[in-house]
Structure 1
Amino acid sequence: MTRLDIQHLRERTPGCQSGIVHFNHAGASLPSQATLDAIIEQLQREARDGPMEAGEHGAVLVEKARRAAAQLLNAPAASIAFASSGSAAWNIAFQALGAWQPGDRILVGRHEWGGNLASMELAVQAGARVEVIPCDATGATCPQALASMIDAQVKLIDLTWLPANGGLINPAEAIGAIARRHAIPYFIDAGQAVGQLPVDVQALQCDVLKSAGRKHLRGPRGTALLYVRAEFLQHLNPAQRDVLSAPWSASGYDLRNDARRFETSEASYALLAGLGNALQEMNHLGVERVWGQVLRTSARVREALRQIPGVSLHDLGASHSGLIAFNLAGWDAFELKRRLGLKRINIGANGVAYTPLDMHARGLDSVARISVSPLNNDDDIERLMAALQELRD
């Protein structure tokens, strides 16, 4: 398999021409000029022809985006819905599960995204319990421990596949096999996975999977993907409905028979045109090639960090993604992020609220986070390490 032409990608990405080093792709990556053009062209079409009148062309672009998303996830196009954010996508699917009863159990990994846990409070108020699946010796969610927890009261298994606070890759396929064997609904938060590594929903055996468009897909903010397995749709009854998701028929208002039961008739065609272009670019590049480049770059970054005295890495798991959590002795993670920003170097910083169960378990108040992309080159790494060395001194 040929490697990606990094310089070619950078030349077609305005952010790479600005002089800023961007290592915050897990927060939001840099869109290509073609993605920006797709957004602007639809906005101009709406301004010229009328927003509603331009909707017909916009709807065509949305369906192209849906097919591109389906190709990326190895899913039918009818199983893909769009939302305004990853959190919104996850919430509408979770709320559609219906009423919770006292004694119902929700099993989650220790690395669960804080926003998902917050949404689960509605179930807890109804008497359900959120229970944490133990980790294995590497710190990853343990499938064997999960298997021992299964009983008739388990109503949902939810996994954050790649946590926001480090490079862990949880065993999503192994957990999916257990969920499917026991016919338990299985949700995956793939916000840090889609666009970074290959995602095959058939192999994962998940019922629901969500991801934001702004991260590794390099799409615009305000976009997200929601996959819902076709056979699972009948178990989801969304409270949010309109003329698109529940159109009128002779028998009344009928929910759509596809994932668009989670969409509404009002959406930004411009943003979805941009997301569609980003998805098409990812499919053209090949996510396997993207993942290979991410692994090579992140390995170089981790090795360079190990050479700086005072740096502590916070990786979990047997293999690692392109998210690199670390701390520099004597520095608060958020202040370190700010000071690097003054040097025109972007990184991320995560507090307890993002992954509260794991941060508490490891006694971490905050972590600085480097997240890499195929856009990053050796010069980016050198500038980052020189800046960290300077701040350490």
Structure 2
Amino acid sequence: MSLDVARLRADTPGCARVLHLNNAGAALPPAPVLDAVIGHLRREAEIGGYEAADEAEPGLKMGYRAIARLIGAAPDEIALVESATQAWTLGFHAFEFGEGDRILTARAEYASNVISFLHLARARGVVVEVVPSDGDGVLDVEALRRMIDARTKLIAVTHVPTNGGLVNPAAAIGAVARAHGIPFLLDACQSVGQLPIDVDAIGCDMLSATGRKFLRGPRGTGFLYVRRTILDRLRPPFLDLHSARWTGARDYAVEPGAARFEMWESSIACRLGLGAAVAYALALGIEAIATRIGTLAEILRERLAALPGVVVHDLGRKRCGIVTFTLEGVTARDTSARLRAQGINTSVSTAPFARWDMEPRGLSELVRASPHAYNTEDELDRFVSAIAGLP
């Protein structure tokens, strides 16, 4: 299935204003997302917030079904939250860790996740161990297998790291986790929306994702997938009258599904926008989106690598839509700022985002360019010409 790129661009108002290669940060939303968010805010203004929420209930339920279809789950295994970080944190802190429990993770982990690991290590004596990477920079699955012992409480890995194009072997990691009966938490904030995801094929027990990146949803949206079979082993770190019911003077009962990880107050408009974004992606076809993003990213890597003074720093055998590079004589921050002045959006990854990966490679900062399906080869040519003109 091929994509109608002209239609994608017509659906995306931002394409007329900027050359947007910051989709790993926050993608340009399509018109159906804008319509869903703005339309609901208008209804809140017209009839009231509670009343508009009641009216929107069918659309909200449709959003749960769309997300479940996107990742191969059931609607009651999805919790809607405000960000991928919140989703991941809620899932991670639902496990009851004790002193000496081991958490196995990857080198290319994002700072927010690592800080949670280290916070728990400091507070409870949990042991955090980094699984080595192989020669291509991806998590070494055989090393993971050898590191597992009776004290291993959790495997927590980022599928697509923030600072490069590699894709960690999630399904192979999941197979190891299943074979040893160890829970597997997958951070999929950079992969959902740009790669096909099937939680059963991967074998993860929990998965966190955001709406604002490759899904093209609103900022302030995310979701947590929780496999039904693991729910009774978890204790949500927060509960309110939505995630639980006050059943007696001194008793309560948590909700039976992933809704136990939600809170009552939320942006109904943004949740409707997230549902619209997922429905839009499903209508296009995730396989087609993944193919186009991957193709554009490889073209961009090749054209950047051909420029004098440019070094592409992406790792991995299978690569995705995140392209990172440095330009001799120009800092990453200056490169990104000068591009933005020309109407070209990128972002910067710095070592404090991913110290375990970047510092051993001698990297302090990288320019990150991340195309989406609505980008064109002509835009890539313009981008590469702009880079060539910076030194």
Same structural fold, with TM-score higher than 0.5 when normalized by the shorter chain:
yes
Q: Map of 1:287-298 to 2, 5 A cutoff? A: 287-298=286-297
Letter in 1 for 2:187: D
Secondary structure, counterpart of 1:97 in structure 2: coil
Does residue 356 of the first structure (1) align with residue 376 of the second (2)?
A: no
Instruction: Report the CA distance between 1:113 and its aligned residue.
Output: 1.1
Structure 2 CA distance for aligned equivalents of residues 338 and 235 of structure 1: 47
Alignment of structure 1 residues 157-168 onto 2, 5 Å: 157-168=155-166
Q: Distance in 2 between matches of 1:218 and 1:239?
A: 29
RMSD (CA atoms): 1.0
Aligned-pair distance for 1:354?
A: 1.4
User: Structure 1 residue 59: deviation in Å?
Assistant: 2.7
* Aligned equivalent of 2:171: 173
**Residue 298 of structure 1, CA deviation:** 1.1
1:262 matched residue in structure 2: 261
SS of 1:202's equivalent in the other structure is helix
Separation in 1 of the partners of 2:55 and 2:272?
10
**Does 1:117 pair with 2:114?**
yes
CA distance in 2 between counterparts of 1:171 and 1:50 reads: 47
Q: Once superposed, which parts of structure 1, at least 4 consecutive aligned residues long, lie more than 3 Å away? A: none
Distance 2:21 2:95 in 1: 37
- Return the alpha-carbon distance in structure 2 between the equivalents of residues 235 and 360 of structure 1: 36
1:37-82 deviation per Cα after TM superposition (whole angstroms, max 9, x unaligned): 1101111111111111111123322211111000000000110011
Given residue 277 of structure 2, which amino acid in structure 1 is its aligned partner?
A
Which residue of the partner structure matches residue 279 of structure 2? Answer: 280
Post-superposition CA distance 1:15-46 (Å, at most 9, x none): 0111x100000000000111101101111111
Give the secondary structure class of the aligned counterpart of 2:51.
coil
* Conserved 8 A contact 1:197-1:288: yes
Q: Which residue of 2 aligns with 1:328?
A: 327
Q: Which runs of 5+ in 1 are unaligned?
A: none
User: 3-state DSSP class of the match of 1:247?
Assistant: strand
How much does 1:236 deviate? 1.1
Deviation of the 1:97 alpha carbon: 0.8
Aligned to 1:87: 85
- Please give the TM-score of this superposition, normalised by the length of structure 1: 0.97
- Are the equivalent residues in 2 in contact too, given 1:61–1:269 (CA < 8 A)? no
Q: Who is 2:223 aligned against?
A: 225
Unaligned runs of 5+ in 2: none
Q: Per-residue CA shift, 1:188-209, capped at 9, x if unaligned?
A: 0001100001000001110110
Q: Which amino acid aligns with 2:324?
A: A
Across the two proteins, how many residue pairs are aligned to each other?
389
- Where 2:352 maps in the other structure, the secondary structure is coil
**Hey, what does 2:131 align to over in structure 1?**
133
| Letter of the 2:7 counterpart | H
Paired residue secondary structure (2:49): coil
Deviation at 1:233, TM superposition (A): 0.7
Residues 361-372 of structure 1 aligned to structure 2 (within 5 Å): 361-372=360-371
- Deviation (angstroms), 1:139: 1.1
> Which of the numbers 128, 148, 151 marks the counterpart of 1:150?
148
